[in-house]
Structure 1
Amino acid sequence: MKKSMIDLERLIETKYENTAGITVLKNGNTVYESYFNGCTPESRIHVYSVTKSIVSILIGIAVDRGCIKSIHQKVLDFFPDYRVKQREKTIQNITLEHLLTMTAPYKYKFAPYIKYFTSEDGVTFSLDLLGGRGKIGDFRYTPLIGPDILSGILIKTAGQSVFDFASENLFSPLGIHVSRNITFQSKEEQLAFNKATDISGWVADEAGTNTAGWGLTLSLTDMAKIGQLCLQKGIWDGRQIVSANWINESTKEHSRWEKNDLPYGYLWWVHPDGFSAMGDGGNVIYVNTEKHIVVAIASLFKRNARDRIELIKEYVEPLFL
């Protein structure tokens, strides 16, 4: 092993100590793969908000197939039975694109997480909080409460569960195995899930709707495959899984988190040489379209984890350029 790689692994063990694994693909070939904290290629890690970028791909597939006519459709068009409260006008003008670009307003100032986690229907719960006095078009990142509306839209338009739609149209073609829906009966079960490395599945509410902002577990290799699929403009083994047009549109800037000067696409973070899916604790799928590099980092949960993009830019990429 090259000394530079030894230094990288020492850095990971000392300053990025919650890392479960890291792999690097260059031109489609695995050039580095290593695991930490007792994790292995079989480990399944909760990737938190990386789930959002997976959902972005699923929305793209639904658009490609005509299930969704346009991302400019209004959200309420997908939920004709939903009753809007009196004098609530903002919600009527919010579109699917606003959800994808995090430019939809919500009524809550502080996220009511306890009520969300104990809700039996995440879609209706999120719809009830959509709108309010905020301005449509202003960036507002919603980690958990809000993205589930996208799951509801997929169910309505595809005519099947998000889990089944993903398994059939994305996971199976890529050789990704996600075992089952996961529901929690207690707070303790959820906390155990966040720490586990041996649970394969996707969190769903009591109504069977999969979470869109978090809740998916993947292996390190699975994460890398998603990145490689996007680098290859939606093609996998000669098959167009999602259109190149959707990949191009979803991974370019449509909004920006001004506070942190971070460009945002359709549930992807955008940077000058590519794009990334980023989840809490340091879970990342990083794609450098110029250098044809994919870096996947799976991490065990830790509050205020160090920035993995900085690690990738300064220490990982230079080893393989």
Structure 2
Amino acid sequence: MQQDAYWWLDGVETAITGLNATLRDFARFGQFILNDGKIDGLSVLPEGWVREAGRSLTLVDGTQAAYGYMWWPEPDGAGHFSDGDFAAYGIFGQRLHISPKHGFLIAELCARSKPKADDSVDGLAFARAAVEALEA
């Protein structure tokens, strides 16, 4: 990381919220994930972890959960999770969209006044448009 990051605490640490970092450092983290958990060619994460983390989990009853290991698989236009894209979302509009198939990521910060989903731009539609533009 280039800058110090901060972890928000409210008496107890939680695994689901609280990381405050610069856009550049969020993008660096996204690049680490896009590079399959490698830094300078050295594997930091177990083989296959990133692929597993960004995939829908199959529950004990056989249903698909639209959630990986703290990552959300992105549905394709038909609502399936087939292209391998996944994202992390922050409650105030932060987002990392990872596209292993296309080799790109989108890092996004927002400054919502409250933790609500009222984006003026649909992030998933934006990511799909970026993929289409890159493939053109």
- Structure 2 match to 1:177: 3
- Structure 1 match to 2:133: 319
Give the TM-score normalised by the residue count of structure 2. Answer: 0.73
Mark the runs of 5 or more structure 2 residues left unpaired by the alignment: 75-81
1:284 and 1:267 mapped to 2: Cα distance? Answer: 12
Within-5 A mapping of 1:299-310: 299-302=110-113, 303-306=116-119, 307-310=122-125
Residue-by-residue CA offset, 1:103-144 (whole Å, 9 max, x unaligned): xxxxxxxxxxxxxxxxxxxxxxxxxxxxxxxxxxxxxxxxxx
Gap change, CA 1:220 and 1:228, over 3 Å in 2: same
Aligned-pair Cα RMSD in Å: 2.3
- Structure 2 match to 1:278: 89
Within-5 A mapping of 1:123-134: none
Greater relative CO, 1 or 2 (CA 8 Å, sep 6+): 1
Contact 1:268 1:277 in 2 (8 A): yes
Q: Is 2:75 the counterpart of 1:268?
A: no
Task: State the shift of 1:245 in Å.
Answer: 2.3
SS of the residue corresponding to residue 101 of structure 2 reads: coil
1:297 and 1:286 mapped to 2: Cα distance? Answer: 8
Task: State the shift of 1:203 in Å.
Answer: 1.0
- Matching residue's letter, 1:309: L
Residue-by-residue CA offset, 1:49-95 (whole Å, 9 max, x unaligned): xxxxxxxxxxxxxxxxxxxxxxxxxxxxxxxxxxxxxxxxxxxxxxx
1:298 and 1:312 mapped to 2: Cα distance? Answer: 14
- Structure 2 match to 1:98: none
Mark the runs of 5 or more structure 1 residues left unpaired by the alignment: 1-174, 179-199
Task: State the shift of 1:232 in Å.
Answer: 1.3
Q: Compare CA radii of gyration and give the structure with the larger one.
A: 1
Richer in helix (by share): 1
Residue-by-residue CA offset, 1:139-196 (whole Å, 9 max, x unaligned): xxxxxxxxxxxxxxxxxxxxxxxxxxxxxxxxxxxx3533xxxxxxxxxxxxxxxxxx
Q: What's the % identity of the aligned pairs?
A: 24
Gap change, CA 1:317 and 1:281, over 3 Å in 2: farther
- Matching residue's letter, 2:133: L
Gap change, CA 1:263 and 1:210, over 3 Å in 2: same
Within-5 A mapping of 1:46-195: 175-178=1-4
- Matching residue's letter, 2:68: G
Task: State the shift of 1:298 in Å.
Answer: 0.8
SS of the residue corresponding to residue 26 of structure 2 reads: helix
- Matching residue's letter, 2:125: E
Aligned residues: 119
